[in-house]
Amino acid sequence: MENTITTFRQLYYTCKETNKKIYEAALDYEASKGENTEYKVRLQAKKSLDAMKSAIKTGLCSTESSPSGLSGNDCDKLQKRFKDYGAILGSTAQKIMTYTLATSEQNLRMGTIVACPTAGSCGIVPAVLIAYAEDYNITENDQINALITAGEIGRIVSVKMALAGAVGGCQAECGVASAMASAALTQMRGGNIKQIINASALVLKNVLGLTCDPVCGLVEIPCVKRNSFLAIHAVTASELAMANIISKIPADEIVDAMEQTGKLMSPLLKESSQGGLAKTKTAIALEKNILG
Condensed to tens digits (0 to 9), the pLDDT of residues 105-133 reads 999 999 999 999 999 999 999 999 999 99
Q: Provide the residue range defining the domain that includes 95.
A: 8-291
Instruction: Tell me how far apart the alpha carbons of residues 157 and 251 are, in angstroms, rounded to a whole number.
Output: 9
Which residues are CB-neighbours of 142 under 8 A, at least 6 positions away? 133, 188
pLDDT attached to residue 148: 98
pLDDT band at 292 (very low <50, low <70, confident <90, very high): confident
pLDDT band at 1 (very low <50, low <70, confident <90, very high): very low
Cross-strand bridge partners of residue 270: 212
pLDDT band at 79 (very low <50, low <70, confident <90, very high): very high
Give tens-digit pLDDT for 234-271: 999 999 999 999 999 999 999 999 999 999 999 999 99
Q: Which residue has the higher pLDDT, 33 or 180?
A: 180
- Within-domain flag for 204: yes
Per-residue pLDDT for 2 more than 80?
no
pLDDT attached to residue 3: 62
Average pLDDT value for residue range 64-80: 96
Q: Within 13 Å of residue 280, how many CA atoms lie on the same side as its CB?
A: 11
Residue 70 DSSP class: S
Per-residue pLDDT for 218 more than 90?
yes
- Within-domain flag for 200: yes
- Within-domain flag for 1: no
- Within-domain flag for 146: yes
Give tens-digit pLDDT for 281-290: 999 999 999 9
Which residues are CB-neighbours of 241 under 8 A, at least 6 positions away? 182, 186, 191, 195, 196, 198, 199, 202
CB atoms closer than 10 angstroms to residue 16: 12
- Within-domain flag for 15: yes
Per-residue pLDDT for 11 more than 70?
yes
* Average pLDDT of every residue of the chain: 96
- Within-domain flag for 2: no
- In the chain, how many domains are there? 1
- Within-domain flag for 47: yes
- Within-domain flag for 3: no
